[in-house]
Amino acid sequence: MSDNSEVICRPSKWFLWRAALMLVMFGGFGLYFLYDWKVGYPKKNYVIANYVAFNDAGKAWTVDENRATPEAWNAFVEKQTIPFNENRSMYPADTDFEEKWPEILHKMADHKSDDLWTEYSGEKGWPQKIDPSEDVKNSGQIKDQLIAASVCFALTAITLFFLIRTKSRVMKADGHGYYPPGGELIPFSKMKTLDKRKWETKGLATLTYLDGENEKKAKIDGMIYGQFKPEEGAPAEALFQKVLENFEGELIELVADEDEAPDESDETTEPEDEVQGSDPEKNE
């Protein structure tokens, strides 16, 4: 048994930064989807409805009776409303579904509808090129944004839970045994096997031990707790070595493949000199 000095591994900066980045990513996507559900998609549909009104105005202008006089055209425009879809959930909550055509459409006598849209959309900060058949978002697509936001916020909550839980824990070893994160002492005398096959590559080892009559498992995770930076003293490696020094059970580790025995067919042997002479009696 070694001395009772403790080796303590706290949550690694690698894990904390990774968890923080996941929080930012999931939270950011959640806010993005939530914005599209509540504001982005409904507003886009509202803009498209206005764009369709300008197209309708361009078509109406071609009718002789509408453009007969400025008075006739103005009277026609005053009667028109923006063509919103019957499904009102597609638009912002404060939408006036009886909204009249924009005042700028009174200028059709001097401008084309496309030019008027360019001017009007520029003032509003709206896109100038719109394809109503493709850009409009139906109620199903809007609802999908809410679902996506909910999923992202759920992942954010899960990540935050594990971050808070992990941050409050430590991994420890002393002369009595190993203390897994959030767990009780596992005495060295109760340890049965130590699987270190993933330690060199992933910083992960697995202990099996006896808890009463039951066999249980515990992990030694050097990536989440401690890490292996030499400038910080490689706490995880120090803890693992502490466990190894006191471990008396079965150690499971990778065994390097033995060099294969050379194939006899590949061995080169010096050919024996063949005796070319014949029977001595025949040579006499």
> Total domain count for the chain?
2
Asked whether the predicted pLDDT for residue 281 surpasses 80, the reply is no
Which of 242, 245, 238 shows the shortest CA–CA distance to 222?
238
With respect to residue 115, please indicate whether it lies within any of the assigned structural domains: yes
Tell me the β-bridge partners of 219.
206
> What's the confidence (pLDDT) of residue 52?
96
Q: How far is Cα 131 from Cα 114, in angstroms, rounded to an integer? A: 13
Same structural domain for residues 138 and 186?
no
Q: In this predicted model, which residue has the larger pLDDT, 169 or 280? A: 169
Chain mean position to CA 160? 15
Please state the rounded mean pLDDT for residues 62-90: 93
Asked whether the predicted pLDDT for residue 283 surpasses 60, the reply is no
Tens-place pLDDT, residues 85-128: 999 999 999 999 999 999 999 998 878 889 999 999 999 999 99
HSE of 21 in the Cβ direction (CA atoms, 13 Å)?
6
Domain of residue 238, residue span: 170-252
pLDDT confidence of 164, banded at 50, 70, 90?
very high
Residue 49 exposed, middle or buried by CB count within 10 Å (0-12, 13-18, 19+): buried
Q: How far is Cα 113 from Cα 100, in angstroms, rounded to an integer? A: 16
Same structural domain for residues 139 and 179?
no
Please state the rounded mean pLDDT for residues 273-278: 41
Q: How far is Cα 108 from Cα 114, in angstroms, rounded to an integer? A: 10
Same structural domain for residues 27 and 121?
yes
